Structure 1
Amino acid sequence: MESKNKFTVLLLLSCMATIFSTLVLKHKDTLTITTHLKKNTIKIQEDSHLITPIKDSEHFMVSAFIDHRLDGAIRVISIIKRNNLQPLYCVYCTPEHVCETVETEVQIHADHFGFPFHVSDVICKGKNMQSASHVLITTHPTKNSYNLKIDYLLIKNNVVTDNFKYNFTVCISNLFGSYNNILQFAQTMEMYKLLGIQHVVIYKTSSGPDLKKLLKHYESEGLLEIVSWPIDKFLNASSGWNFQEHKGDLHYYGQLVTLNECIYRHMYQSRYVLLNDIDEIIMPYKYSNLQSLMEDLQSADPSKGVFIIENHVFPKTQFEDSGKFKRKEWKNIAGINIMEHIYREPERKNVYNPAKMIVNPRKVEQTSVHSSLMIFGESYHVPFNVCRIVHVREPLQGSLTKEELFIDKRVWDFEKDLIPNVDRTLKLSGLLKDSS
């Protein structure tokens, strides 16, 4: 009996001397592993770096959030290879480095457009998740080597609040290639400010040289947040939306990944989030700004959380006749001058119009580009005369003459402030020389 007690004591001392101990429990068919890690052994992912490979798989982690609408589950926005999904496990850890491991539920979004990789939610449900500070997704539930080399994600949205830093945030899902449309970009950003937007987020893969100067200016001003999105370092990202036509691994440089990430990133930072492209302006027509628009729309029905805005094309090939906005100051600035394009294409019957959205992020679970896939509440199609998108681009109905287009001078209502603000921005960015 004495020998047996000595053996027990030695065994306990041996266990205490190890780096960590693991307790494996089976409860309701869910695997739970409790791990005690040494401090400073977890490599926390930098916030500016969003794409992290999941070891021993073809998948990637992007970012992690507590979802208080799902009883405090952890939602890891991920990129999953749809035809090669193996069991995945969630390791979530407290600031004291006590970790739990649970099986996950993988929700691949429905709108994959045929691409092999697609945005997915990896849902982790377990005890004490709201006290967790970091998480990783792994293919090895009992493997103990992940404490040294694998990047953990910081878990965001730990606290629910209605004290928002911003009223309106614009999420620009992708900036890639050599995009260098300087003038239209500056005009759009300045228009955003006049409409009441305080924050613009751009997920950036690459851009043209002059645009970098403009981006730097807006960053220093505090309006713009640039999120590094080096998706081309990990996958053959498609430059289009249709797999049969454009090929590649992932839809449009991961547009659907970044849109969903942006919604969750601003869940408790912004009252509303606008989901539109870099050459689109969600323009209120019945109101002078977005604040007045949304106060009216929301007061009419507080249950609505997704507001669908019609897209309307202003062909860049059609110019207004007077030339009053063909300014010599902008002659050498690359890009489109939206003030010159006041002719709007008519709506096409029986042709889908790809609308964009203003959303309450706390009422969205999953989104696509032109509609939300899963929401808490209702969506609402905003009438054309109340708000619509001003989209200056290549024509969709190029055969129409100027006489067959509608005149729409809404942008001109802002000329008094817009023009000097654009000039000031271009000068501060070093793109426009001061004539004085």
Structure 2
Amino acid sequence: MQLHNILLFFLFYRCQTGHWIKMKKANKVFFTKNSITSIKHSEHIAVSAFIDHRINKAIRVISIIRRDNLQPLYCIYCNDDHDCQTAEAEVQIHSDHFGFPFAASDVLCHGAHTQIATCVAISTSANISNVHAEDLLPIKNKVTHESFKFNFTVCISNLFEGYNNVLQFVQTVEMYKLLGVQHVVIYNTSCGPDLEKLLQHYKREGIVEIVSWPINKFLNPSKGWNFVEHGGDLHYYGQLVTLNECIYRNMYQSRYVLLNDIDEIIMPYKHANLPLLMEDLQQEHITVGVFLIENHIFPKTQFEETHRFSRPEWRNISGINIMEHIYREPDRKYVFNPRKMIINPRSVVQTSVHSALAQYGDVYYVPFDVCRIVHVRTPLQGHLIKEQLFVDTRVWDFEAELISNVDKTLQASDLI
């Protein structure tokens, strides 16, 4: 067998299995695919690859591109017949990069038979001999679906710096379960030991999908959103990259995707749950694929006065007890109120944190009284006293089930 054909064979094997295999004393050694892949001879990074059925079945590779050092890139993609083809890549750097050197980007591969490709590598050379097993990404979303495994998926962009806010995390996930969410995707750079126990329980339960996100091994990620203020290579541990990756990951798995942080709950106020909310909103706004939800701050410094939810069972659990914080800051009409989103993932091409950057269909601002975000965190208007805040006890509507489910989950996680 010629060397070229041998290379194609092994590349093909890697495409089909998502693993690379070599022989060593008759033992098979497997190398699993990482969630982050350096593009050799460049500063760029490839993350994951998908067929985009909306643009002539091109291959879309979610990537991180160094904006000021972009050289020509090539797609090398292979199919089930051991046939690999090369095409010049189209690079789309997302417009929201907040001044950081590296930006969330799409590398698009156009060409013949992309729809039957099983894996792809992004390369600085069109020569297939420069591609190795560790460069290859399996291509997902090869088949579209009209029915979905999940109705609602929540995408949580990043956990980092040993995040260990266990109580708020478990309360948020259990609240979302009561609201009709079946799937939560977490991108994990690092978390604390107690949260790790909780994540493993949820993984066993099947509601949480944990995606390893070791971005700090590749770049110096920023701890903030503003390059001038926070420095670093990439916005907020790659938040924009993971949000976009999560949309494509769930493109044909989930009817709707919620894009928000772990300390935020997208809460319906006129409907009992998210399915009822979205049924009405979608019927009223047939062409809408992006629903923007107002953010509202519940200061963690202001406590409910009766202390009815200061439970001894939770006393040694790290983190914030959202049930104790029912005071909401007033909206400031002269200050931008960032929103989060409920989206139809098949309508979105690119997203930022607070709005879609490119989408098919329309955008709708959901009224405050219909749905808003319960966001328990440090105050933004810390000068206000309790009497200047609004009482908002919507979380208490789920009191009995929420407390019971939180207790059961903490016990199952060996935390109480």
Give the TM-score of the pair, scaled to structure 2. Answer: 0.94
Distance in 2 between the 1:210 and 1:52 partners?
29
Q: How far did 1:102 drift?
A: 0.6
Distance in 2 between the 1:60 and 1:336 partners?
36
Is 1:18 equivalent to 2:5 in the alignment? no
What residue in structure 2 maps to residue 189 of structure 1?
Answer: 173
What residue in structure 2 maps to residue 368 of structure 1?
Answer: 352
Distance in 1 between the 2:400 and 2:317 partners?
20
Distance in 2 between the 1:371 and 1:309 partners?
10
| Residues 59 and 79, structure 1, Cα contact 8 Å, conserved in 2 | yes
Which residue type is aligned with residue 39 of structure 1? Answer: F
Distance in 1 between the 2:398 and 2:65 partners?
44
Q: Secondary structure at the match of 1:310?
A: strand
Q: How far did 1:143 drift?
A: 5.0
Give the direction of change, closer, same or farther, for the CA distance of 1:341–1:92 in structure 2 (3 Å limit).
same
Distance in 1 between the 2:11 and 2:182 partners?
39
Q: How far did 1:179 drift?
A: 1.1
Q: How far did 1:151 drift?
A: 2.2
Q: Secondary structure at the match of 1:61?
A: strand
Which deviations, in whole Å up to 9, do the C-alpha atoms of 1:330-375 show, x marking residues without a partner? 1111111111110000001211111100000000000000000000
What do you get for the CA RMSD once the two structures are aligned? 1.3
1:216 aligns with one of 177, 181, 200: 200
Which deviations, in whole Å up to 9, do the C-alpha atoms of 1:270-314 show, x marking residues without a partner? 000000001000000000000000000001122100000000000
What residue in structure 1 maps to residue 24 of structure 2?
Answer: none
What residue in structure 1 maps to residue 384 of structure 2?
Answer: 400
1:122 aligns with one of 100, 107, 112: 107
Q: Secondary structure at the match of 2:136?
A: strand
Is 1:90 equivalent to 2:60 in the alignment? no
What residue in structure 1 maps to residue 407 of structure 2?
Answer: 423
| Residues 220 and 233, structure 2, Cα contact 8 Å, conserved in 1 | yes
Q: How far did 1:178 drift?
A: 1.5
Which deviations, in whole Å up to 9, do the C-alpha atoms of 1:231-277 show, x marking residues without a partner? 00000010100000110000000000000000000000000000000
Distance in 2 between the 1:105 and 1:332 partners?
52
- Runs of 5+ consecutive residues of structure 1 not aligned to the other structure: 1-16, 22-35
What residue in structure 1 maps to residue 250 of structure 2?
Answer: 266
What residue in structure 2 maps to residue 110 of structure 1?
Answer: 95
Distance in 2 between the 1:249 and 1:349 partners?
34
Instruction: State how 1:42-53 maps to structure 2 within 5 Å.
Output: 43-44=14-15, 49-53=34-38
2:59 aligns with one of 63, 68, 74: 74
The structure with the largest alpha-carbon Rg is 1
1:64 aligns with one of 26, 40, 49: 49
Is 1:227 equivalent to 2:197 in the alignment? no
Identical-pair percentage: 66
Distance in 2 between the 1:97 and 1:174 partners?
37
| Residues 306 and 360, structure 1, Cα contact 8 Å, conserved in 2 | yes
What residue in structure 2 maps to residue 200 of structure 1?
Answer: 184
Give the TM-score of the pair, scaled to structure 1. Answer: 0.90
Q: How far did 1:37 drift?
A: 4.7
Q: Secondary structure at the match of 2:105?
A: strand
Which residue type is aligned with residue 126 of structure 1? Answer: G
Distance in 2 between the 1:270 and 1:41 partners?
31
Q: Secondary structure at the match of 1:39?
A: helix
Q: How far did 1:150 drift?
A: 4.1
2:10 aligns with one of 40, 54, 70: 40
What residue in structure 2 maps to residue 31 of structure 1?
Answer: none
Distance in 1 between the 2:177 and 2:191 partners?
22
